[in-house]
Amino acid sequence: MTTKTMTALGLALVFACATTAAQAQGKVPNRADQTFMKNAIQGDMAEIEIGQLAQKNGQSEKIKQFGKTLEQDHSANLVKAKTLAESMNLSLPTQPNAKEKATYDKLSKLKGAAFDKQFAKDMVADHKKDISEFQREAKKSGDAADFAKQTLPTLHKHLSLAQSLSSQTTGAK
């Protein structure tokens, strides 16, 4: 073998070892962590927009306040998610996903009591889904898992609020 070949093989081996070591330390995210972070960022963006919509289209003061809570909490979480994603060298999404946009579009056509009822129902379903995804990620190790663990209490708080509002808007006790 030539010196160039040996050097190239040596560099490849060093790179492979460094990548493996970085992955083991949670520094290089795997595809599942990358997808989780992308979805988390898109979810935060959607919750901010829907929270703003609730403040505008909601009838009840409690719905409007919950919208403000969503906007504030998810804005703070979005900053953390983007910072983490950038440290993982991920490209950041710039808007919510298609399903979240469809939910926003559906809600944007409603006002007053009809908005309140649908918004509360959608927020219960959305936060149940989010909690499931974040719990699955939190069982892992690494930066994305730590982020999920830190976010779960807020998601549980939002679910509890949404369930309370949903029972109020449907008349259930």
pLDDT, tens digit, for every residue of 55-73? 999 999 999 999 999 999 9
The per-residue pLDDT for 27 is 57
Which percentage of the chain shows pLDDT scores above 70?
A: 82
Of residues 25 and 115, more confidence is placed in 115
Of residues 45 and 24, more confidence is placed in 45
Q: Is-above-0.85 flag for pTM?
A: no
Is 14's pLDDT higher than 50? Answer: no
Is 52's pLDDT higher than 90? Answer: yes
Is 144's pLDDT higher than 50? Answer: yes
Average pLDDT over residues 84-101: 94
Domain 28-170 fold is: Ferritin (1.20.1260)
Average pLDDT over residues 76-102: 95
The per-residue pLDDT for 24 is 46
The per-residue pLDDT for 169 is 82
Cβ 132 vs Cβ 51: under 8 Å: no
Cβ 54 vs Cβ 114: under 8 Å: no
CA distances from 157 to 15, 74, 105, 147, 162 (A): 44, 12, 25, 16, 9
Whole-number average pLDDT of the chain: 88
What are the structure tokens assigned to 44, written together? Answer: 């935060």
Rg (C-alpha) for the chain, rounded Å, is 21
Q: Which residues contact 135 (CB under 8 A, 6 or more apart)?
A: 148, 152
